[in-house]
Amino acid sequence: MKAVELRVGEGRSTLEARDGYLLVTELADVRTPEDMRRWLGEIDRFASARNLERVVFDARHDSSEPMPGVREARWEHSDRAPVLKIIAVVLPNELASARVNMTVLARKTAARLRAFATIEDAAAWALSVQPRR
């Protein structure tokens, strides 16, 4: 399927339904907590319409520290996992991946979530694990 562009506030990303999962490529950062919630809601609607509960977020472009509340809005969404039950995140470096993976261990997220260095590893994991029920 051809990628669809999603813009929310200053944030820009593409959404592409792949075989068994949704690939979200983040191109420009969502800057406010409100925009983050709207962005995640749009991604949920896109995934739900295609019966997808697995997602790979390609966030390798991310080089800036988000505004206060933006990261927490994203974590809160993962804690609830209304649509996406398996979440793999591709980050720009091992330190960022380790930070996310340690945070996952400390939180009780409804979604299964893990960070990776490559899309291939992230997709393989996302397709291999089962959602929490």
* pLDDT, mean over the chain: 92
* Domains along the sequence of the chain with CATH: 4-128 (3.30.750.24)
Predicted local confidence at residue 110, as pLDDT:
77
Taking only the tens place, the pLDDT of each residue in 55-101 is 999 999 866 677 789 989 999 998 888 899 999 999 999 998 999 99
Predicted local confidence at residue 48, as pLDDT:
97
For 132, counting Cβ atoms within 10 Å of its Cβ (0-12 exposed, 13-18 middle, 19+ buried), the class is: exposed
CA–CA separation, 33 and 90 (whole Å): 21
Taking only the tens place, the pLDDT of each residue in 21-58 is 999 999 988 999 999 999 999 999 999 999 999 999 99
CB 111 within 8 A of CB 78: yes
Predicted local confidence at residue 83, as pLDDT:
93
